[in-house]
Every structure is written in structure tokens, then in C-alpha cells.
Amino acid sequence: MDKNIKVLLVDDEEEFVKTLSERIQMRDLGSNIAYNGEQALKVVKDEVPDVMILDLKMPGIDGMEVLKRVKKAYPQVQVIMLTGHGSEKDEKEARKLGAFDYLQKPADIDTIVGTIRKAYKKRIEKPLMAATFAEAGDFDSAKDIMDRDD
């Protein structure tokens, strides 16, 4: 099942994001890369990921803006912020905008992967529950669950 987890890594630091992607793939997770905000939004549009690892400070559209747009368009996408910048204020704002977690660079690979798995669990929780309700014929509840804000 893990291979099915589609992770999108967004960071302007190419060396970093490539290496991280490789390591994530080695841990049996599907991974895609974007180097800036525009690219990230395009990739999301083409293929909606389950989990996004998002840097805050990027040229062009920054992480906060990407988070805002992605969460608006695809609320089911779980976004994990991973940044070397950022203050308490940023963390607060990101969480308010629906970020799943807020990690500091440099982060341990096990922490990152663990957080991705947790985020994925949450990502599939709602559709699973909705599906269960739908199978039982309770479409209203299923719709409620899907529409519910996190």
C-alpha cells in the first residue's frame, strides 16, 4: 500500500529535495518533486498528491501561498511544512491554514517518513469512512464526512 502514497516534495534547494526524494523512494513511498511554488501548483493540478512536503521560503509563490491554494482546491491533500526558516508566528499561521505538521530543517529521515505516514493515514481516513457509509447506503453521512473541515 505504501507505494501508493504519492508524496510531492516542494523546495527550491535542488540538492536537498533530490536527495530527500531518493531517500523517500528507498523507503517505499512514491515521490515527485517541484522546485518552486508555480511548479508545485501545476504538479498538484496534474496529479493530486496524498501528502505534500512544502518549504516556506521560496522564490515566486512562497510556501504559505501554495499551502493556502492547495488546501482550498484540494482539502484532502495533507501538507507537511519543512523549513529552516519560520518563526512561531509562521507555524501558527500554517497550522491555521490547515498544515498537518510543521517540521524544522534539518529533520531526521525517520521523523519525515513517520509524519508522512501519519498524514497519509489521515488523508485516507475520511474517504474510507465515507466509503463505508456509502456502502451502507448512508450517502448523507458520507457527504458530511467528506465536506467536513479538518
Partner 1 sequence: MNVRGWFGSIYKRLLHIHKASDAPDRYLALRRNITVIMLLVTILPLGIMAGINHFQYRKSIKNEVIEPLRVLLGKSRHSFQLFLEERLSTVRFVGSAYSYEQLTHERTLSRVFRVLKDEFDGFVDIGLIDGSGVQVSYAGPYNLLDKDYSGQSWFQEVVIRDTYISDVFMGYRKFPHLAIAVQRVEESRNWILRATIDTNLFYELISAMGLDPEADAFIVNQEGILQTRSRFYGDILEEIPFDLSAQTYGPHLMETVDPQGREVMVAYVGLEKPSFRLVVVKPRALVLRTWITLQGEMFFVFFVSVIVIIVIVMKLADALVTNIKEADDRREAAIHELEQTQKLSAIGRLAAGVAHEINNPLSIINEKSGLMKDLLAFSGDFAKKERFEQLVDGVIRSVGRCKTITHRLLGFARRKEVYFEELNLNALIKDVIGFLEKEMVYRNIDLRFQTADEMPAISSDQGQLQQVFLNIMTNALGAVDDGGRVIVTTWEEDPKTVGVSIQDNGPGMSEETIQRVFDPFFTTKKSGGTGLGLFITYGIVKKLGGDIKVHSKEGEGATFTVYLPKTAKQGEASSPEEIS
Binder among 3, 47, 89, 137 for partner 1 (CB under 8 A): 89
Of 75, 130, 126, 122, nearest to 97 (Cα)? 75
Q: Considering the complex, what minimum distance in angstroms separates the CB of residue 125 from partner 1?
A: 26
What is the edge-to-edge ordering of all strands in the sheet holding 30-34? 30-34, 6-10, 51-54, 78-83, 101-104
- 98 burial level (CB within 10 Å; 0-12, 13-18, 19+): middle
DSSP 28: T
Determine, following the binding rule CB under 8 A, whether residue 13 of this chain makes contact with partner 1: yes
**Cβ closest to partner 1, residue 23 vs residue 126:** 23
Determine, following the binding rule CB under 8 A, whether residue 3 of this chain makes contact with partner 1: no
Number of residues located near partner 1, criterion CB under 8 A = 21
DSSP 4: G
Q: Which stretch binds partner 1 (CB under 8 A): 45-53, 64-72, 81-89, 138-146?
A: 81-89
Which spans of this chain sit near partner 1 (rule: CB under 8 A)?
A: 13, 15-16, 19-20, 22-23, 26, 84-89, 91-92, 104-107, 109
